[in-house]
Structure 1
């Protein structure tokens, strides 16, 4: 495999802000980049950057462009809200040639198995999958997220329970987020993602099935699955997460240090401060939690 590290980064871009925050970080560091916008997912702002649009099934187009641009490092980032419909996806010639490999990856079962298969698929073609932590480390939550310390201290028991629950569901490759309030696990994240999980919590509260009817209580905790490959599907919060947590009546959000991305961090802090939510990072590998 060709050594990489200072050549252009190919950013395979889903939705929302993170692909552009990564692109901006690369631009500020002086490193070139090229965006591959997933049709139906990536934001139209991609037009302001070096880019092409890709439909599901355009594997040949992807690798031909990677070769033309001299790309050796590839990064996957951004929200994917719907899985491709393999029955209606039109495959280009490159996808047809790779179809046996692709089918093996799809059939491998579980998110981790699929993602490892994707990594190997790229590596066999001389590419290196990189991570946000490597190319834009400022986007990864460190130990400096400390908004609302006093309020967070009143939720320590809920935070500890949420950390244990997140480890449990992560161990079975099920999710990256948990909501706990008043000592009760209200929701654990599945394939639907964090926003939809918080929608469920909103309904629980509206239906008065939760123990609190007024005020803010409870915590959303986000962390990676044990042993998760952080080049893919890194747990993420952003302004939308803050809005959902507010609607759900939660007291705050906790992120695991070094394992979570914070999109639009200054906006997240501003929103959390405005609505009275604490926003904390914790070392969740600390056994004293």
Structure 2
């Protein structure tokens, strides 16, 4: 095989969850050789098994703060295009890492230390080093939510009101990069996502309702609506809204009955399993 015949390489910066594995499968289906930079604090160790089973996958393990090693690894592997896939917990980004000199310098120069600002700065550093960061949805477009009601049950009138109100609130907080999810009941905001993540926000809303007591008088409807949006200027290279079966399980446990997401801007991991779990739980999902 000549150099011109060698498969194109894609760098994959892998966070936690199933997202990196889905993107890895999609990239391999496109005939790409994948160089995975697995984050020690986040990536599932199963990534080693995938590399062992597929000669087209190479894995390098790095700590979250090792930006210089990330660049050196991609350079040594001949990677010029890369993608981020999988969550890195927000609180870990700003508390648990030990940054190398390059990342420390980057952090010191940030105007604000939110996730978008940090990842955007990392993307610029990679670009300056000849490594283009591309959209994490590029190989996963079939998994983007299509507009409409996606489950058997449609939202009822009260859920529709909660969705309208919830979208207004969610879009406002997303504009400040505070989170992308809110939980609503009777047009009242029960919980707002911050650094804890979507599932923890849903659980917190459910716990709040449980503390009211079954026999207590309350003006709040006891069914929760979850609204998840993209940021107003969502950079699809990172932090793309995602739902999975775990989202439905968290909603079921919390007593949530409706999930509203953004069409064409939300990734669904295993849509068939999501819809089946939602239908079984009586949860309606609508993409707008």
TM range (shorter): 0.7 to 0.9
Using structure 1 for the length normalisation, give the TM-score. Answer: 0.84
Q: Which residue of 1 aligns with 2:62?
A: 54
Instruction: Give the 5 Å matches for 1:43-192.
Output: 43-47=44-48, 48-49=50-51, 50-81=58-89, 82-84=91-93, 89=98, 95-96=100-101, 99-105=104-110, 108-143=112-147, 146-151=150-155, 155-192=159-196
Alpha-carbon separation, structure 1, partners of 2:44 and 2:145: 24
Decide whether aligned partners of structure 1 residues 67 and 53 sit closer, same or farther in structure 2, where only a CA change above 3 A counts: same
Q: Determine if contact 1:152/1:252 at 8 Å carries over to the other structure.
A: no
Greater displacement, 204-213 / 121-130: 204-213
How far the C-alpha of 1:110 sits from its partner, in A, is 2.6
The superposition leaves residues 44-83 of structure 1 with CA deviations (integer Å, 9 ceiling, x where unpaired) of 1101122111113333332222112221111111122351
Task: Give the Cα–Cα distance (whole angstroms) in 2 for the partners of residues 166 and 159 of structure 1.
Answer: 10
Question: Structure 1 pair 112/59, CA: closer, same or farther in 2 (3 Å)?
Answer: closer
Q: Is 2:239 aligned against 1:271?
A: no
Distance 1:182 1:9, change over 3 A: same
Counterpart position of 1:3: none
Specify whether residues 88 and 22 from structure 1 end up closer, same or farther in structure 2 by C-alpha distance, changes over 3 A only. Answer: closer
Three-state SS of the structure 1 residue aligned to 2:190 is: strand
Q: Which residue of 1 aligns with 2:231?
A: 225
Equivalent in the alignment of 2:264: 258
Q: Unaligned regions of 5+ residues in structure 2, if any? A: 1-6, 52-57
Q: Does 1:42 align with 2:57?
A: no
- Distance (whole Å) between structure 2 residues aligned to residue 173 and residue 85 of structure 1: 14
Contact 2:9 2:32 in 1 (8 A): yes
Shift of 1:189: 1.2
The 8 Å contact of residues 132 and 140 in structure 1, kept in 2 or not, is answered as no
- Number of residue equivalences: 269
Question: 2:107·2:118 contact (CA, 8 Å) conserved in 1?
Answer: no
- C-alpha separation in 1, matches of 2:106 and 2:167: 37
1:19 positional shift: 0.3
Secondary structure, in 3 states, of the residue corresponding to 1:259? coil
Structure 1 spans left out of the alignment, 5+ residues: 1-5, 283-289
Q: 1:221 is paired with a residue of what secondary structure?
A: strand
Distance across 2 between alignment mates of 1:43 and 1:142: 29
**2:8 equivalent in structure 1:** 7
Paired with 2:103 and 2:205, the residues of 1 have a C-alpha distance of 42
- Quote the residue 1:21 is aligned against: 22
Tell me the residue number matched to 1:31: 32
What CA deviation, in whole Å up to 9, does each residue of 1:127-182 have, x standing for no partner? 11111222321232232661134345652111111111111112222111111122
